[in-house]
Chains A and B, each alone.
Chain A
Amino acid sequence: GAVVSQHPSRVICKSGTSVKIECRSLDFQATTMFWYRQFPKQSLMLMATSNEGSKATYEQGVEKDKFLINHASLTLSTLTVTSAHPEDSSFYICSASSGGHSYNEQFFGPGTRLTVL
């Protein structure tokens, strides 16, 4: 099946710094990538949807200036958490899809655990 990687898998940073998380589709072209946030023992919450070459669409309540998303190519999307604070500590998961229909499968990365001190 299709493989999606994320880097890094874990990151610890100081409050006020910025952190970049990469999401790559390794063996297919991802026209759409999604970024989710998962709090401990909770479900995945969609943060934003990004289409290659265009601006990301953010879900209600997600600060676009804090969570910068770039989808510059069909195999790479990045999420930058700017001026991170302890409340940003979470598990961030990306997924990638190759089509535009609701039944197209999303392939998920293994996630990145962010800890902000």
Chain B
Amino acid sequence: AQSVTQLDSHVSVSEGTPVLLRCNYSSSYSPSLFWYVQHPNKGLQLLLKYTSAATLVKGINGFEAEFKKSETSFHLTKPSAHMSDAAEYFCVVSAGGASDKLIFGTGTRLQVFP
């Protein structure tokens, strides 16, 4: 069965410093992986997705993630945090096969301090 583990429930950074949100996955096949962001009172927004193409995936708002099969990781990074990045971030894996199902991690709340 597919699953994702987000290693940190909370991450706090200062504005202008790098962001690292960690995610490890478990999958019996080559997975599709996603990062979604959830701002308060707004729908989840797709930041980026990995679907077996380039291992370094660039997303919106300066975020990127690297798929590392040897480490079963898909960490999300951003070189310089902005106040508007404060939100809940979810690492997500597809259930696989013909299914569209997504399996969500437990989320990481990012706080950005001025």
Residues of A within 8 A of B (CB): 4, 9, 32, 34, 41-46, 49, 93, 95, 97, 99-111
Distance (whole angstroms) from the CB of B104 to the closest CB of chain A = 5
* Residues B98 and A100 in contact, CB atoms below 8 Å apart: yes
Q: Please report B residues at the A interface, Cβ cutoff 8 Å.
A: 32, 36, 41-46, 49, 51, 90, 94-107
Chain B residues whose CB sits within 8 angstroms of the CB of A46 once the complex forms: 101-103
Partner of B43 from A41, A97, A103, A109 at Cβ < 8 Å: A109
Our count of residue pairs bridging A and B at CB distance below 8 angstroms stands at: 61
Does A102 contact B46, Cβ atoms closer than 8 Å?
A: no
B residues near A102, Cβ cutoff 8 Å: 32, 94-101
Main secondary structure of the interface of B (DSSP, over half): loop
With A44-B104, A46-B102 known as contacts, the answer to whether A93 contacts B32 (CB < 8 A) is no
Q: A49-B100, A100-B100, A110-B43 are in contact. Are A43 and B90 (CB under 8 A)?
A: yes
Interface of A is mostly: loop
A107–chain B nearest beta-carbon distance, Å: 8
A61 to chain B, nearest CB (A): 15
B96: A residues at CB distance < 8 A: 102
- B104 partner residues in chain A, CB cutoff 8 A: 43-45
Given A43-B90, A109-B43, A110-B41, is A49 in contact with B101 using a C-beta cutoff of 8 Å?
yes
Residues of B within 8 A of A49 (CB): 100-101
Across the interface, A34 reaches (CB within 8 A) one of B36, B100, B106, namely B100
User: Smallest CB–CB gap between A27 and chain B, Å?
Assistant: 14
- On whether the beta carbons of B90 and A44 are closer than 8 Å, the reply is yes
A-B contact pairs, 23 of them (CB 8 A): A9-B41, A34-B101, A34-B102, A41-B107, A42-B106, A43-B107, A45-B104, A49-B100, A93-B44, A100-B98, A101-B100, A102-B94, A102-B98, A102-B99, A102-B100, A103-B32, A103-B49, A103-B51, A103-B94, A105-B49, A108-B43, A110-B42, A110-B43
Chain A residues with CB below 8 A from B42, complex form: 110
Chain B residues with CB under 8 A of A105? 46, 49
| Chain A residue with the shortest CB-CB distance to B99 | A102
The CA of A102 and the CA of B102, in the complex, are separated in Å by 8
